[in-house]
Amino acid sequence: MIIKIVKKKNGEHFRFALFLIFVSISVFILAFLSEDNGITGQVTATTLSQVASSDLIEFEDISELGTLAPGKYYIDGNGIVYWIEENGMAKIAKINYLDSSQKGRRVYIDFEGNVGYLIG
């Protein structure tokens, strides 16, 4: 099909150019939309002893937690964020600014990076 379009001279070059532009834009949009889909978040240690306080990821506020991997987290009164797993908690991040209502809360981060409070 492409060979036939290239060989014809009566207006087919314009259609071929439009086709190439359409393909280029489609590839660009697909690459842009799927840019971070393979990244699920930061790598975390499995035990509390494996992460020192100075090695924690720092966030300015709770809204930035959406960059972490999907799952359940706990924020203590000092702004330390713990990843809650089946057999314990791992210290992974520090939030520099917290409201008093955000301290001591469990949050959930979904696959789209949305942060929500867990009730109960």
How confident is the model over 101-115, as pLDDT tens digits? 888 888 888 888 888
At 11-58, the pLDDT tens digits run 677 888 888 999 988 888 877 766 554 444 445 544 444 445 567 888
Question: What local confidence, expressed as pLDDT, does residue 48 receive?
Answer: 42
Give the separation between CA 103 and CA 57, rounded to whole angstroms.
Answer: 18
Alpha carbon separation from 87 to 79, 90, 103, 120 (Å, rounded): 22, 10, 23, 19
**69 within 8 A of 40, measured Cβ to Cβ:** yes
At 21-33, the pLDDT tens digits run 999 888 888 777 6
Question: What local confidence, expressed as pLDDT, does residue 102 receive?
Answer: 80
Residue with tokens 């942060």: 115
Question: What local confidence, expressed as pLDDT, does residue 11 receive?
Answer: 66
DSSP string, 8-30: --SSHHHHHHHHHHHHHHHHHHH
